[in-house]
Homo-oligomer: A and B are copies of this chain.
Amino acid sequence: MSYGQCFQAWRADCAADWHDYTHHPFVQGLGDGSLPRAAFLNYLRQDYLFLLNFSRAWALGVVKADGLAEMQACSATVHALVDGEMALHVRICAAEGITPEELQSTPEAVSNLAYTRYVLESGYSGDFLDLLAGLAPCVLGYGEIGLRLAADAAPDTPYHDWIQTYAGEDYQQTCRDVGRLLDSAVLRRLGPDASTLPRWQALSHRFATATRLEVGFWGLGRQ
């Protein structure tokens, strides 16, 4: 797994929170199959609202980018999300008996609100790097979780498809691309010694806060 140097460093800076996020009981339950179906369906419902706001945050990346290459990287993600993944999500939910109407009228859980609004507000109030530092734990954490569960999961877990989505080559490529985007965005703004700057600590703190909010997001599966 190689999601880049910034990720590596910021992940290490918040190791305990990162472990809570990536080894959350919800995650473990996906792997060993013990996660109750109702919790998974609740997660799917919230994830629809999450993906809407997540797409908005990547679109804010296009607005805040510096130059065409960064804009294209963010735009491709927005396009993939709103024209691909959202439709896929609606189909998966339909297969589980959750209608589009139900998805749209689901009240947004506080922990869902907390994460997405934190990331969007980081992007609005800070710059492109603040936005990416808030987005990274979600994108890259799912990649890491997917890979680990694919290696360890119980053969008969009913959540095999979910695991394969994030362990699969497509998603892993996305993770490597986002890791590279992050590293190059930091380099082209803060130079090769970025990690010695106060700005670096602020970005690491954003990454850590977003990670903490991801822990809360898994918790909503319980509600």
Interface residues of A (CB under 8 A from B): 52, 55-57, 59-60, 62-68, 71-72, 74-76, 78-79, 82-83, 86, 104, 108, 110-111, 113-114, 117-118, 120-121, 124-127, 130, 188-191, 196-199, 202, 209, 212-213, 216
Contact of A127 (CB < 8 Å), options: B82, B86, B130: B130
Whether A198 and B209, one on each chain, are in contact in the complex, defined by CB atoms closer than 8 angstroms, is no
Minimum C-beta distance from A130 to chain B (A): 7
Contact of A124 (CB < 8 Å), options: B67, B79, B120: B120
Residues of chain B contacted by A56 (CB below 8 angstroms) = 62-63, 65, 71, 125
Whether A125 and B120, one on each chain, are in contact in the complex, defined by CB atoms closer than 8 angstroms, is yes
4 cross-chain pairs, A with B, having the tightest CB-CB distances, nearest first: A59-B62, A114-B114, A127-B127, A117-B117
Most buried by B among A79, A125, A213: A125
Closest to A199 in B: B189
